[in-house]
Amino acid sequence: MKLQQYQLPCLSLSSYLIGDESSGRAVVVDPQRDIGQYLADAAEHSLEITHVLLTHFHADYVSGHLELAEATGAEICLSAVAEAEFPITHLADGDRIELGDVVIQTWQTPGHTPESATFLVFEHAGDDVPAAILTGDTLFVNDVGRPDLLGAIGFTAEQLGAQLYDSVHRLLSLPDEVLVYPGHGAGSACGKALGSDPFTTVGEQRTENYALQPMSKEDFVALVTEGQPAAPSYFLHDAITNRQQHEVFDEAGPFEPIGFEGAVAALDDGSVIVDTRDPVEFALGHIRGSVNVPLDGRFAEQAGMVVPADADVIVAGEPEREREARTRLGRIGFDRASRYIADYAVQLVEHPDLVGVSRRLVASDVAGLDLADVQLLDVRNPGETAAGVIPGAIEIPLGALPQRRDELDDGRPVVAYCASGQRSSVAASWLRREGFDDVADVIGGYQAWELLGASMS
């Protein structure tokens, strides 16, 4: 048996290739949209990808099921209750896919979504106990999937949470030694306390996972819905897209340069310029009205928090990395990123009349603010702010900022901060684009504030 895990840190995503090397047949589970790595590894090990298995319809990325099906002819397999616009092989509870001696069995484990499934992997067809389980977003390392993401389309957190309780306790019926391979790791917004280990065991989760300790179903639902990070607005777009028959993603597809002045003019037509440079570089000079989302970070996720999914996106950033930004936007279904500004840094120098700068403060500046005059904005997630905030701050997570914009007064100055100074640059640039005239952010964020307090004590 070959079981290969692929990790995509910027989306905290794990996907899998499982093959029977004696028969040469393989499946891919929860693929990312750019599929080259699966095809290359399958070819290297003389494996034919015959099935694409989805544990559920993902909300945090557009999966590569259509891309793999087109490239290999593989069947797309989902839970028996899943409905989609494209052909599906439905898997009922207990259904088995025989790759040869290696067998994959389906368990229905609803809760994160109604169609969530777990795949049990048996190294030998006659084994009574699986070697591993691929749990998708049902069970993570030290966490469980959140049950509140589908509330906007007809399911309550209470309904799904009750199902999730039953599903994770079904998984606990397996022996302690069974390996657990989850769909996400630390940093994912699909849970609130995911561990960073790439895999775990049923036994470890039985003792270490806060959500699997003895408690009533009602207490479980209350516990796993409390303190969840704000779901980015693109999640609903991706959950719907993953059900649709849509165009496959081509990494080498059209991506055209646009002139500096043409990019500025496109802002008036509703296009969004995404500046992918470091916040320090962005602050020193950028196209007025552009949004700063640093490429070296959780780029696609943060772009999806503040950029509309149907917007035409123009990429501005470091030379030779523009297509990387396009690919990463494509992973979350932002397929209208079709243009970039060539020689961006040079163009900024040559068009000073179209360039803006950003104001950034240090922690000691914040200590001197009069909050009667300034709106102090904390854009961290609830799990972060629970450990402390700067006194007087308004708490609006970055992922909720577009929906809660009206809680801020665009006629008063805003000072935004996050944990370290990256998300605050995203927030501040987005607010300026939205018409806030006086916006600054805090270098070093809350970490710098804590250090300042420690040095003064």
Tell me the residue type at 285: G
Give catalytic status of residue 418 as yes or no: yes
Given the residues 10, 77, 190, 418, select the one marked as catalytic: 418
Kindly state the tokens that stand for 188.
């994912």
- Return d(Cα 369, Cα 364) in angstroms, integer: 9
Instruction: Note the Cα 325 to chain centre separation in Å.
Output: 15
Annotated catalytic sites, by residue?
418
